Copies of this chain bind each other. A is one copy, B any other.
Amino acid sequence: MTKQHIPVTFHPHGRTTHVLAGTTVLETAARAGLALNTPCGGNGTCGKCRVRITKGAPPPNASEQQVLAEKELQEGWRLGCQTHIEEEAEIFIPESSLIAGHHQIQESSSTDEVQELQPIVRKRYVEMTAPTLQDDIPDLMRLEKNMGELNTDIQLLRELPRKLRQQEFKGTAVVSDHTLLDFEEGDTSCLCYGAAFDIGTTTIVGSLLNFCTGEEKAVTSRMNPQVRRGDDVLSRIRHSSSSPSSLQELQTLVIDEINSMIDDLVHEADTERRYVYDVIFAGNTTMQHMLCGLDTAQLGEIPFVPVHRRGLSLWADELNIPINPRGLVYVFPVIGGFVGGDTVAGILATQLSRQEDPVLMVDIGTNGEIVLAHNGSIYAASTAAGPAFEGSRLSCGMRATNGAIEKVVINDELACGVIGGVAPSGLCGSGLIDLVAELIRLGVISPEGHLPRAPDISADIPENLRERIKVDDNGEKYFVVVEDEHNAEKSEVVITQSDIRELQLAAGAVRAGTEILLKRAGLEQEDLKRVLIAGGFGSFIRRKHAQRIGLLPSKIDHRAISYVGNVTLSGAKWALLSIRAREQAEKYAKETEHMELSTDMDFQTHFAEAMIFP
């Protein structure tokens, strides 16, 4: 049974999403890819997640009345973490309420040296005098008198004399770290862009930023086309080693997609490719290696050795990315074979090691990366958590796309939230977590993860739940989430005993990894001051449910857990706008202690223990 979905539109971003009544604005915004700032952990005390609800604002609660002024409340200002969507809404999110985004970079205090708008490419319009007998210095020196010492490639040097004279010694110099990239006709100093990409195993997200203002001018996302060569990282690595041309095939797939996305970004921002001078990429180690055409064979074998650790600074044409002909590319540094640039970007975006420690960040994508910062040290590990949460390997699993049950609430009856407001066709990761957590809470699923036979179920459980437990022809028990209704375009959605087992394995891996990192740092779960849930998927998880199934530490208050959204993209955008941030990313990658779990005996023990729900 599906409740009505309510449309909510966010401004100035213009993004609309649909959610169940009762969903917080915080969660709804995350759904739209907008991570609100919640330093208090969504407690309603810090006031950093304030939004203005211009249509459909519910009455303020006590927290809001305390934090916000009366006038503000009248204007529709509310706290994103406190307000629930009850009807169709229009919501304005000020830039200051977005977390770890580029907007913060400009607004933050000058005490934090990474938070400056300092892109690696700068443009400046210059007017020079033409050479005379009294002023016969070389052409390049003439420009250097205005711009400081400049290197340049030979091709631009070949064009320079003609350019200078055709443009009557006026134009816009494009400079990156003392290298002249171009000398453009007229004053194009504000036409200066860069693109940041989060290259996920499943999804690629790209953003176009203006280097003069730091503004995000366009965003786009696509399925990673490599998916057709394997769902997860390991199957892609296997494919890349299957023939000499396979690696190049995978590289071409992703690069072609990026090029097409750049087309979209440039179109949306109403500019041109030639005004894009820098592209930055963050992804897991395998995705980054494939992007660069680097051999991934060693990533598929113990001890999982990457080719490089430091970030790669390349020319865009070395990767066939057709931005400005002398455009640049930066690929994030990595920490290990399975802790990649995406994690580094996350550490950067959240300023993890500068948070009040100890703080844990969990990014659940196709893989699950776990990072613990404490006392100036950072520890990171990766677990093969993904497939269950991404919907694969489940009987009714699916990705978080239209038709996926992404939320399950069981009170008197079982209610589902379905993405797109259409008929449900399967369960995505967050729906799965909700469902299992609710069934554990109600005692339908045992701590060991067993579905009881219908006759064994406590009579306390409502009749309508009890009768959803069935047994198939092979004797496997399953729980019916959505009943088959003929002629209503609804087919049956179930969760089987095996599905529950898959979830236990995935959650158990993250839980065991967390224990290993805590142990390494000499900490217990209870010591954690904050837990950050990163990643697009993570934003849809109900915190208490994630704790109940053991995915997140269960011994801390759920209010210490907060959503930070797509920190990979945030970190990439940040590094695009600030070379200092880039330097800091390099530092984090270098200093983070990488713990290889798959060969850690301790991990095996914790993993076995984690097979029981907390």
Contacts and interface: CB of A to CB of B under 8 A. Distances in A.
Interface of A: 131-133, 135-141, 153-154, 157-158, 160-162, 292-295, 297-298, 302-310, 312, 314, 318-319, 334, 336-337, 596, 599
Nearest to A303: B136
Nearest to A600: B133
A167 to B, nearest CB: 15
Given A161-B298, A298-B161, A303-B132, A312 B137 contact: no
A158 B158 CA distance: 30
Contacts of A139: 298, 305-308
Contacts of A314: 154
A157 B596 contact: no
Given A140-B309, A306-B139, A337-B136, A158 B294 contact: yes
A305 B131 contact: yes
A469 B372 CA distance: 101
28 contacts: A131-B298, A131-B303, A131-B305, A132-B303, A133-B303, A135-B303, A136-B304, A136-B305, A136-B336, A136-B596, A137-B309, A138-B305, A138-B309, A138-B334, A140-B310, A141-B308, A154-B314, A154-B318, A157-B294, A157-B307, A158-B292, A158-B293, A158-B294, A160-B307, A161-B295, A161-B297, A161-B305, A162-B295
The 10 tightest CB contacts between A and B, nearest first, are A136-B303, A161-B295, A138-B306, A138-B309, A140-B308, A131-B305, A133-B303, A139-B307, A154-B318, A133-B599
A318 B157 CA distance: 12
A294 B337 CA distance: 46
A131 B337 CA distance: 13
Contacts of A334: 138
Contacts of A140: 307-310
A19 to B, nearest CB: 43
A336 B141 CA distance: 12
Nearest to A151: B313
Contacts of A135: 303
A243 to B, nearest CB: 15
Nearest to A304: B136
A307 B154 CA distance: 11
Contacts of A161: 294-295, 297-298, 305, 307
A302 B160 contact: no
Contacts of A337: 136
Contacts of A319: 154
Given A138-B309, A139-B305, A161-B305, 18 more contacts: A131-B298, A131-B303, A133-B302, A136-B304, A136-B305, A136-B336, A136-B337, A136-B596, A137-B305, A139-B307, A140-B308, A141-B308, A154-B312, A154-B314, A154-B319, A157-B307, A158-B293, A161-B297
A309 B149 CA distance: 11
Contacts of A310: 140
A412 B135 CA distance: 56
A156 B139 CA distance: 34
B131 A308 contact: no
B133 A596 contact: yes
Nearest to A247: B158
B136 A292 contact: no
A138, A157, A306, A312, most chain B CB atoms within 10 A: A138
Nearest to A314: B154
Nearest to A315: B154
Contacts of A157: 292, 294, 307-308, 312
A306 B294 CA distance: 42
Contacts of A137: 305, 309
Contacts of A596: 133, 136
Nearest to A135: B303
A351 B167 CA distance: 41
Nearest to A136: B303
Contacts of A307: 138-140, 157, 160-161
A140 B309 CA distance: 8
A137 B131 CA distance: 55
Contacts of A295: 158, 160-162
Residue in A132, A153, A302, A306 whose Cβ sees the most chain B Cβ within 10 Å = A306
Contacts of A132: 303
A446 to B, nearest CB: 37
A298 B297 CA distance: 54
Contacts of A136: 303-305, 336-337, 596
Nearest to A251: B158
Contacts of A153: 318
A590 to B, nearest CB: 10
Nearest to A313: B151
Nearest to A318: B154
Contacts of A292: 154, 157-158
A250 to B, nearest CB: 13
A26 B309 CA distance: 59
A319 B303 CA distance: 42
A158 B136 CA distance: 46
